[in-house]
Amino acid sequence: MPDSIPPAKTRLAANTTSFAGRPGETPFDLAFAAARRAAEAGEVPVGAVVVRDDVVLAVAHNRPRALRDPTAHAEILAIRTACAALGDERLSGCDLYVTLEPCPMCAGAIGFARIRRLYYGAADPKGGGVENGARVFNQPTCHHAPDVYGGFREDEAAQMLRDFFRARRD
């Protein structure tokens, strides 16, 4: 599965993976695997997956350091990849799974992409933009708010982040 933005002319079938034939694997399994890849690369361990009709359109992890791009959050990269796979700037009918509550920038992109449902792991009281901080989807100027479900594998996601930052401090 791609971790980066594929060429715009890539066909859907080449960039997607169906869950068929993968018993027991969930989008969160893919998101956590991506978050671990981020940590191994020295990036904050956040992973994101976009799914539509049980087909994985995108898997991405944080890459702002590698790409020298402050917008290269897992959610943004996954949204870009899924849009390229579908050939559309709207991801209607798509669900986003992310290991950490999205920041305000990512929440804005989620709304503009018209993501149907957002599932996330750990809350982010300091930098979150969904249920903490800016609460982007609660603003009267928000054009589209997905259904939001938080707390999935929350302890695992929070521990991954704590371990990462502890290792950086040591």
Q: Which residues contact 146 (CB under 8 A, 6 or more apart)?
A: 96, 110, 111, 115, 116, 117, 118, 137
The pair of three-digit structure tokens given for residue 72, joined into one six-digit string: 């290269």
What lies within 8 Å, CB to CB, of 154 at 6+ separation is: 121, 122, 123
Residue set of the binding site for Zn(2+): 73, 103, 106
Catalytic-residue membership of 43: no
Sheet holding 95-100, edge to edge: 17-18, 55-61, 47-52, 95-100, 117-122, 147-149
Q: Which helix (H) or strand (E) holds 113?
A: helix 104-113
How crowded is residue 3: how many other Cβ atoms within 10 Å of its Cβ?
19
Catalytic member of 43, 75, 101, 131? 75
CB 99 within 8 A of CB 80: no
Strand 95-100 to 117-122 pairing: parallel
| Binding site listing | 73, 103, 106
Catalytic residue IDs:
75
